[in-house]
Amino acid sequence: MWGILAPYLGLCLLITVTPGLDTAVVVRSTVKGGTRSGLATALGCALGLFVHAAAVALGLAELLLRSQTVFDAVRLTGAAFLVVLGVRSLWAARRAQPVMAPEEPPGRLGRLLPGSPLAQGFVTNLTNPKAALFFLATLPQFVPAGRPAVAVPVALGLAIIAVLFSLTGLSLVAVALGRARRLLDSPAFRRMQDGLLGLTLVTLGVRVAAE
């Protein structure tokens, strides 16, 4: 079992340390609302990732991949969402807020309300078809062949491991950036933060839509 698990853990670690759409959204959320906001966004990203992982494990992702219309709809929805977040960051950069934005209220963080950090993270990964493609390409390589009775439980277990890796990595990003946020807060630095984040998110959204 370890001979199968070890390379999979290495793959999960490699994916975790590679920045992606979820990393950009967690960074934006932490810069805007503080560490707790970033952690809530990281949790939302992990939940969205788990939906893809569970769908692949249960064989549902094949339905998505067989329908180009559904695939394109999900991809373009995610791209539009990223562009909206990027435009909002660019608008915030123009306003040049002179003081650090307050922490998000705790009662709002853990709810899937429209615009909440948890919802933003969830939607980002839920509308990212590449998450489904990743699990579809990797999970079959590590599920024991010829043992259909254990295929789904093993696939779900491997999926949970990948989700935990993602949650841990994104949470560390939120904590580290949350601490740096308090040290580096200034009008000029915040303009640069919002501007760079806005351009990054818009670029990622346009790139996803163009693929």
pLDDT confidence of residue 38: 92
pTM of the model: 0.70
d(CA 117, CA 133): 25
Hey, is 17 helix, strand or coil? Answer: coil
Q: What is the separation of C-alpha 59 from the centre of its chain, rounded to a whole number of angstroms? A: 22
Quick one: pLDDT at residue 44? 94
Taking only the tens of pLDDT, the chain with its 211 residues reads: 555 678 888 888 888 887 888 898 998 888 888 889 999 999 999 999 999 888 887 775 565 557 767 656 766 776 776 677 677 767 766 655 444 444 445 544 445 566 788 998 999 888 887 788 788 777 777 776 566 667 778 888 888 999 999 999 999 999 998 887 766 666 666 677 677 777 777 777 777 677 6
- Predicted confidence at residue 95, as pLDDT, reads 59
Give residue for tokens 């935990």: 164
d(CA 109, CA 120): 11
Which tokens go with 179? 């601490």
Report angle CA 98, 100, 104 to the nearest 5 degrees: 140
Sequence-separated (6 or more) residues with CB below 8 Å from residue 49: 22, 125, 131, 162, 163, 166
The pLDDT assigned to 173 comes to 93
The confidence score (pLDDT) of residue 91 equals 73
Report the C-alpha gap between 4 and 57 in whole angstroms. 17
Under 8 Å between Cβ of 146 and 153? no
Handedness of CA 86, 88, 89, 94 (dihedral sign): positive
Q: What is the pLDDT of residue 7?
A: 81
pLDDT of residue 183: 62
Judge whether 132 and 59 are in contact, CB under 8 Å: no
